[in-house]
Amino acid sequence: MSTAPGPGGGTAGSPTDAAPLGELGFYTLAGHSDSPRDLVREVQEAEALGLGSAFVSERLALKEAATLCGAAAAVTSTLGIATAATNHNTRHPLVTASIASTMHRLTGGRFTLGLGRGVAPMHAAMGLSTVTNAQLEDVTGILRTLWRGGAVVDHDGPAGTFPNLRQDATFDEDIPLLLVAIGPRSAELAGRVMDALVLHTFYSDEALTNAVAAARRGAEQAGRDPAGVRVWSVLATVGDHVPEDLRLKKTVGRLASYLRGYGDVLVAANGWDPAVLERFRADPFVRGFVGAFDARATQDELEYLAALMPDEWLAVTASGSPEQCAAAVVRQLDLGADSVILHGATPSELAPILPAYRAVRPAGLAGMPLNPGRSGP
């Protein structure tokens, strides 16, 4: 029997049914939330059930990522924690570096900093520039220099101009970085400079295999070990035990929100018909709706939205019985993902699925690190 060496991102091992499943994670406060304190209960339930990691997304109302990560760290002892994602351009890089180094020591090494592009129209409304891959690569170098105790002096690069940045000369912090990405170029970037890649919900099988290949290719081209970049698929996991109105919010509502915000990239990644996306966006109800569909739409409105989407667009989920959901998770691993985020469900909603997954769990995963940015086993 193997044992967990402590909360510092170590591996799991226990013969009990609650032994941590390092290859599985969930999004806490998935979607819109009016009650950020729900995170406390969710992460404690997740740890008790054996989920390996909690991922924290950011919405600039009641989901500020640093606050939520600190709360998650305070009430857990083994659960991996990652932002997935925050944006480098919404904070000064020294502030971002400090958030990560603080979380790293607060958690004993359970934290991964996850960055992403964000939503360009929202950044434009904030007076911020559009995030580019060049900026992400540049800021990655800045952060790692600071965490190693170095100084960033007279820097003038894609991420900005910084005369003199430094944290602590005694630092030698090994903090993983992950990238949340959709397109193949971003997946290659993750393979080139990041420790992990988090993909997107509603990926087709082909999109998943293409993204995994792109990440491995990026690592190879950079002279890195392709297996050293951990790839997380993100699978909407909404079983039939969830009430129908909630199932619609977590599937139709969420996909509709994505399609309206950045559907072009998702449609391209999946090889879906862009004309269908154009018709969806041109629909008067879609154009006039205020707020996020997964937060504000009624059941009748969600059923209307579902009729605008092809069945295949909504089929790329884990649904049905717990056994069917578990089989869908295993398929993600078979397609090349190293780990799977069970998206759109709270730990209590995932509770019936986890025993079914344990019964069909592929061999060789018991040593998967609980820090979501570490590769293994």
Cβ contacts of residue 373 below 8 Å, gap of 6+? Answer: 82, 112, 113, 114, 176, 177, 178, 195, 196, 230
pLDDT of residue 11: 41
Are the C-beta atoms of residues 359 and 366 closer than 8 Å to each other? no
> pLDDT 10s per residue in the chain (377 long)?
233 333 344 444 333 467 999 999 999 998 778 899 999 999 999 999 999 999 999 999 999 999 999 999 999 999 999 999 999 999 999 999 999 999 999 999 999 999 999 989 899 999 999 999 999 999 999 999 999 999 999 999 999 999 999 999 999 999 999 999 999 999 999 999 999 999 999 999 999 999 999 999 999 999 999 999 999 999 999 999 999 999 999 999 999 999 999 999 999 999 999 999 999 999 999 999 999 999 999 999 999 999 999 999 999 999 999 999 999 999 999 999 999 999 999 999 999 999 999 999 999 999 999 999 999 77
Strand pairing partners for 155?
Answer: 162
> Six-digit token pair at 253?
């509502």
Residue 344, token pair as written in the block: 């759109």
pTM of the model: 0.94
CA angle 69/249/356 to nearest 5° reads 75
Which DSSP string corresponds to 315-355?
A: -SSB-SSHHHHHHHHHHHHHTT-SEEEEET--HHHHTTHHH
pLDDT at 161: 99
Distance (Å, rounded) from C-alpha 28 to C-alpha 38? 9
Query: What is the set of domains in the chain, with CATH numbers?
Result: 21-239+319-360 (3.20.20.30), 242-317 (no CATH)
CB 203 within 8 A of CB 269: yes
CA distance 56 to 131: 20
Q: Tell me if residue 120 falls in helix, strand or coil.
A: helix
Q: What's the one-letter identity of residue 157?
A: G
